[in-house]
Structure 1
Amino acid sequence: MKTEWIIAAALLATLPAIADETVPKQPDTLLDAIKTGQPMTSFRLRYEDVSQDGLGPANTSAANNDLQDGKGTTLRSLIGWQTAPFHNFSFAAQLIDVSKFQDDYNDSTNGTLINGVSNQPDKVKYAKIVDPDYTGVNQLYLDWTGIKNTRLRIGRQQVNLDNVRFVGDIGFRQAMQAFDGESLLNKSLPDTQIFLAHFNRVRQITTVLRDDGSLNIANVKYSISPTESVVGYAYLSSFEDLGHGRSWFGNAAT
């Protein structure tokens, strides 16, 4: 049986996943575009306590196979800015840092060097909390909105589709997933949202950067009412060894 306790405090000043398509008057200069942009900044301090029976390291006896309780205190810092549109272009950059203050837990790296981050081998005796320490680029993209009700985005970006069961940033974890590639959002048709994307890299919640495949997305959503909608989608992936709905598809990645 697995029991988790999570206490989180957040100071948020973030952009919505999909920006409002109502475009204000564009700034006259690039400097004005920077000044009138929006922050992509948040700080989240979290304590997590996990108790889990069994599933201890393979070299332990059955009588002593329980994992030690995982206890972790981490701070996630997101610092970024997105400029206002200038000649239909806007630029966004966001850095991420996940710092451990208490690391009595298995962060899933298990002594393996991953993107410059390594956990101590003895941490495998603790219950798993997938929050490795990490510093890097969380988002870095260029938006073009030269066609009405359309947004083309190129670069590293977060994506959350529908109920994030299949495609999402897994924001529950401190180091969220991010996708590298191109996406197109169109809202020209009444009550209809069309999202197309091609991604050739993904940074997973373990901070592993996967570039051994690609993901192509087609998602069409028609809103019947403010609370009901119909969605048709195709998610075509050539990545290997990705558990359905787990490794970078939104849900079940705790």
Structure 2
Amino acid sequence: MRLALAAAALIAAGQPLHAQSVALKPLADARTRYETVEQDGLPRDADALTIRLRAGVEARVERWSALVEGQGTLGVVDRYFDGLEGAADRPLVADPQNVALYRAQLQYRADDLTMTAGRQRIALDDERFVGAIGFRQNGQTFDAVRAEWTPLPKLKLDLSYAWSVRTIWGNDGRDARQSAVSGDNVFANLSYATPVGLLTGFAYLVDQDEAAVQGYRLSSQTYGVRFAGARPIGSGAKLSYQASYARQADYGGNPNAYRAEYYLIDAALDVWRLRFGGGFEVLGADDGRALTSFQTPLGTNFKFQGWADKFLTTPPDGVRDLYGQVSTGWKAIGPARDITVQAVFHDFRSDRLGRRYGREWDLLASAKFGPTTASVRYADYDARSFATDTSKLWLQLDWAL
């Protein structure tokens, strides 16, 4: 019924479709990654060599398009716990083997309106609250209907209703790590482009129907505002900035009653080949009970609060992340293009009671060689009062058609 309604919504949005030639576009990308993890408290390290392939096709006729894409993930070296299989005496590497339908969508695109129905990627703003989890091999998609409307040149409304979240755990997902989480999720995002940056108001209603997933305790309503922009300052320099505030409360069948706040302030200065940046992000706590702190179950959380993944679920006392970074890059050196080297430092503390959680260093080097991107990434988490010392190393090759 939901798929039928989605298709009907798209048909209503468009014009009659006349016989026209069909333009076909092949879709293909591949990723090979080696990940090794050493974590205190576990007797053995994790070693994971995984290969991910996605392939599909997009057919386009005038303003209409249909897209189908599948994906498969293979564990070539599987000395790791993938969350579903493997020995739990090794660290978690959340890339289980999988063969699945990744996307299957129908889209109508006009000058001021785009409507998409079916299994699709949805990534809003910086993906803090709703994202595609692109770093993990299986990614995250949504069975949804989405409308993107631009009634005025600088004003955009982005509205989605998602009845299922297809998770990174793949077809064999079970228990708290379900293959898909059904529910009634609404993502509303209204943005206006000002002369100095993009101002966005948002409302994200997450209503999950799977009792196995934390007993509905990840259902929440989040309302907030975000501002992001960049300005040149002088010759050869640029200042980038962003700030965000949100309030979250229980929603739907969540048995917890709570209120928590979110803050972010971030700035970066680009001078010649160097970038210096830093920020302060707070995911607040309520009264210290589990899952009454600010949660982001549908966000691309790997991008935030360190790559060691210690805060994918916000601790009961919340988390404050004070961070700084420096990076540099070159357009080309020999056959390499778009070369980037980056270092990030995080200091983590609790929002409630002011405890020191730990510190983390994150390092990255990447470069493109034709259609292939090679990267080396490292994370080292030094625990004080939360979790345990953990170091991770990634060697990765990404290829796209």
Fold-level similarity (TM above 0.5): yes
2:31–2:53 contact (8 Å) kept in structure 1: yes
1:210 aligned residue: 180
Alignment partner of 2:70 out of 88, 95, 98 = 95
Residue by residue, what CA displacement relative to the aligned partner does 1:87-116 show, whole Å, maximum 9, x if unpaired? x3210000010111011111111xxxxxxx
Match of 1:231 among 190, 200, 208: 200
CA drift of 1:172 comes to: 0.6
C-alpha displacement of 1:181? 1.5
- Unpaired runs of 5+ in structure 2? 1-16, 171-177, 209-215, 219-290, 304-308, 310-401
Q: Call closer, same or farther: CA 1:228–1:252 in 2, change over 3 Å.
A: same
Report the equivalent of 2:159: 196
Alignment of 1:133-212 (within 5 A): 133-145=97-109, 147-207=110-170, 208-212=178-182
- Cα deviation for residue 156 of structure 1 reads 0.2
Deviations 1:109-150 (A, max 9, x none): 1xxxxxxxxx14xx10111110000001000010122x4321
**Separation of aligned partners in 2, 1:70 and 1:49:** 5
Three-state SS of the structure 2 residue aligned to 1:187 is strand
Task: Output the aligned Cα RMSD.
Answer: 2.2
Q: Counterpart amino acid of 1:223?
A: A
Picking from 26, 37, 51, the partner of 2:38 is: 51
Cα deviations across residues 185-211 of structure 1 (Å, max 9, x unaligned)? 112312222110000101111223334
Q: How does 1:233-248 map to 2 (within 5 A)?
A: 233-239=202-208, 240-242=216-218, 245-248=295-298
Higher strand share: 2
1:220 to 190, 198, 202: 190
Q: What is the 5 A alignment of 1:8-157?
A: 29=19, 32-33=21-22, 36-54=23-41, 66-86=42-62, 88-109=63-84, 119-120=85-86, 123-145=87-109, 147-157=110-120
* Letter of the structure 2 residue corresponding to residue 107 of structure 1: D
Residues in 2 aligned to 1:195 and 1:170: alpha-carbon distance in whole angstroms: 19
Give the secondary-structure state (helix, strand or coil) at the position aligned to 1:44. strand
SS at match of 2:88: helix
Tell me which amino acid in the other structure corresponds to 2:55.
I
Residue type at the aligned position of 2:145: E
Q: Which residue of 2 aligns with 1:16?
A: none
- CA distance, structure 2, for counterparts of residue 102 and residue 29 of structure 1: 50
State the structure with bigger RCO (CA 8 A, min sep 6), 1 or 2. 1
**For 1:70-92, what per-residue CA distance to the aligned partner results, in whole angstroms no more than 9, with x for missing partners?**
11011110101111234x32100
Match of 2:385 in 1: none
Which residue in 1 is equivalent to 2:324?
none
Comparing 240-249 with 75-84, which one deviates more in the overlay? 240-249
Distance 1:107 1:247, change over 3 A: farther
Q: Secondary structure at the match of 1:170?
A: coil
Please give the secondary structure, in 2, of the residue aligned with 1:137.
strand
C-alpha distance in structure 1 between counterparts of 2:197 and 2:45, whole Å: 42
Structure 2 CA distance for partners of 1:143 and 1:192, relative to 1, 3 Å: same
Shift of residue 53, structure 1, vs aligned partner: 1.2
TM-score of the superposition, structure 2-length normalised? 0.47
Distance in structure 2 (CA, Å) of the matches to 1:39 and 1:221: 32
Partner secondary structure for residue 84 of structure 1: strand
Structure 1 residue 29, shift from structure 2 partner: 4.7
User: What's the secondary structure of 2:151's corresponding residue?
Assistant: coil
Contact kept? 2:167, 2:181, Cα under 8 Å: no
Give % identity. Answer: 26
